[in-house]
């Protein structure tokens, strides 16, 4: 989980100067702020000009929060990424552009939507209730119905899906 912090003043003067920030080592908003201040202060010292603005030019295995994320969002994304995985957090953020309801919306990771539908039915009905009827159920159609209204899924890089409840 890394982000590339870029000096805006240098960028506007056609100098691409950035540093990768490893968010597994530096994750609190105060630590991130200190890293950015030190990065800009080094350049201010070199040029004897004020360098105070920054933006993010790249994300590596992290949620794309745009060019100008606030430090609280970065800190929150790091914490959630450590708990749920950065791909899951990224999938949720790409849809809702917030983190507030991720924990409530997250259902799990599955092979595909039919796999989720089958597991959901297993959770709802006992083995005796579902038992022999399960061979007559069209899991693809059942999954389609579930994902029309109550759930949505995003593909992950490992050819699986992550499922969220809709809000």
**Residues 148-163: tens digit of each pLDDT:** 999 999 999 888 999 9
Backbone angles phi, psi at 135, to 5 degrees: -75, -15
Mean pLDDT of 71-90: 95
Instruction: Give me 3's structure tokens.
Output: 């982000």
Average pLDDT value for the chain: 92
* Residue-range domain boundaries for the chain: 2-100, 104-165
Mean pLDDT of 19-40: 94
Beta bridge partners of 59: 3
The distance in angstroms from the start CA to the end CA of the chain is 28
Q: Is the pLDDT of residue 43 over 80?
A: yes
Q: By the 8 A CB rule, do 117 and 111 touch?
A: no
Q: Is the pLDDT of residue 127 over 80?
A: no
Instruction: Give me 125's structure tokens.
Output: 């009905």
The pTM of the whole model exceeds 0.75 = yes
CA separation for the pair 167, 52 (Å, rounded): 39
């Amino acid at each position: 989980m890394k982000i590339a912090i870029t000096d805006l003043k240098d960028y506007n003067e056609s100098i691409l100067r950035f540093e990768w920030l490893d968010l597994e080592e530096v994750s609190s908003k105060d630590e991130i702020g200190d890293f950015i201040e030190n990065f800009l202060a080094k350049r201010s010292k070199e040029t004897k000009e004020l360098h105070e603005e920054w933006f993010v030019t790249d994300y590596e295995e992290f949620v794309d929060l745009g060019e100008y994320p606030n430090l609280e969002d970065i800190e929150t994304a790091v914490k959630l990424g450590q708990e749920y995985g950065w791909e899951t957090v990224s999938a949720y953020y790409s849809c809702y552009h917030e983190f507030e309801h991720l924990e409530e919306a997250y259902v799990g990771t599955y092979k595909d939507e039919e796999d989720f539908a089958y597991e959901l039915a297993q959770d709802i009905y006992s083995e005796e209730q579902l038992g022999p009827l399960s061979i007559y159920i069209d899991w693809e159609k059942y999954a389609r119905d579930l994902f029309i209204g109550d759930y949505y899924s995003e593909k992950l890089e490992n050819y699986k899906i992550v499922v969220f409840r809709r809000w």
